[in-house]
Amino acid sequence: MTEDNTTMEPFPIDQWPDPVCCFEIDTGTPVVEAVNGAFETTFGSITPGEPVRTVFEAVDLSIVLGTNNRAVIGTEDDRLIVETGKVGSEAKSGDQYLLRVVPSDGDVGGVLLFNPLPAGVAREPSEVGLDHVASVISHDLRNPLDVAKARLRAARETGEAEHFEHVSDAHDRMERIIEDVLTLARGSDVVQPDEVVDLGSAAKAAWNVVETDAATIVIEESLPTVVGDPDRLGRLFENLFRNAVEHGGSGVTVTVGPLEETTGFYVADDGRGIPPEQRDRVFDPGFSTDNHGTGLGLSIVARIVDLHGWSVEITDTASGGARFEITGIEAR
């Protein structure tokens, strides 16, 4: 939405994998503007123009945590947990969703984003969802863009060619952010798992394009060969390596190897590790313990793993570092 009331989706909702409902403010009342296909598939059809309050009634959603109705118009307390089913004597268990309310600029509307929660899991609302992805587009892309502009201006004024290397680095950073956002936003067609991929070779290639500082890597020779998408598997390794280098501490050692008890592989480091209480959140888009991070790296890993039909689990190493185990693969 823009301040002149021109309709503009903050993100292409039809490409978003979870249920999304856009709303606008009509004479002080938030009303439904549009819903995406995932919303209709999950909850049923909603008629545009209906008050947002009736959305909960129409699709049998009951608020079970958080009762501040101002959340629905995105002014305060914008996170609720809702569940399908009736309340009272007819109460029944159902799927739960973390509801994020993303207001647009100005008092003209916003987006309701329903993030599915695992069955039986009740968790504190985390800083995840559509608003952070929009922040990545508007803020995190602007930083390298400003760097590129400044360096290009300096090159023109001084004639020093070294500035072009910084311009190139900034462009690489922007390209990586764009690819990460698209991986999250697009459907299953973002991954084409139809090529034979040697995981050892893919890991080596990924390590060569990551800024590793003083880190070292050990790639075991017995890694399996799988059928997958080579480009996306390369991105999976790159993001896991960056996570280890950025959060593992100076001089971290990263190890990639096969699992012993099942077909799969792991990426581990001997760094500081991930506290158990954060392991359920690190795959959420936007969650980061680094003020300079986008919080998309590990969510991209989870997305790529899921679209290959695999599973990923976080544990720790004997030294206390982080260990990511990918299972469910079929070796070739």
| pLDDT at position 9 over 60 | no
Q: Tell me the CA end-to-end span of the chain in Å, nearest whole number.
A: 49
Q: Which residues pair with 151 in a beta bridge?
A: none
Q: Higher model confidence: residue 89 or residue 203?
A: 203
Per-residue model confidence (pLDDT) at position 5? 40
User: In the structure, what pLDDT confidence band is assigned to residue 37 with cuts at 50, 70 and 90?
Assistant: confident
- Please report how many Cα atoms fall inside a 13 Å half-sphere around the Cα of residue 59, on the Cβ side: 26
Q: Which residues contact 135 (CB under 8 A, 6 or more apart)?
A: 286
Closest CA to 199 of 225, 219, 173, 236: 225
Closest CA to 175 of 231, 131, 227, 127: 231
Q: Are 26 and 4 in contact (CB under 8 A)?
A: no
| pLDDT at position 273 over 50 | yes
> Is the C-alpha dihedral spanning 18, 19, 24, 28 positive or negative?
negative
Please tell me the distance from the alpha carbon of residue 246 to that of residue 234, in angstroms, as a whole number: 18
**Helical ranges in the chain per DSSP H:** 37-43, 53-58, 130-135, 142-158, 162-185, 199-208, 230-247, 297-307
User: In the structure, what pLDDT confidence band is assigned to residue 64 with cuts at 50, 70 and 90?
Assistant: very low
Closest CA to 114 of 210, 205, 30, 18: 18
Residue type, 220: E
pTM above 0.75, yes or no: no
Give me the count of residues in the chain: 332
Phi, psi for 158 (deg, rounded to 5): -105, -25
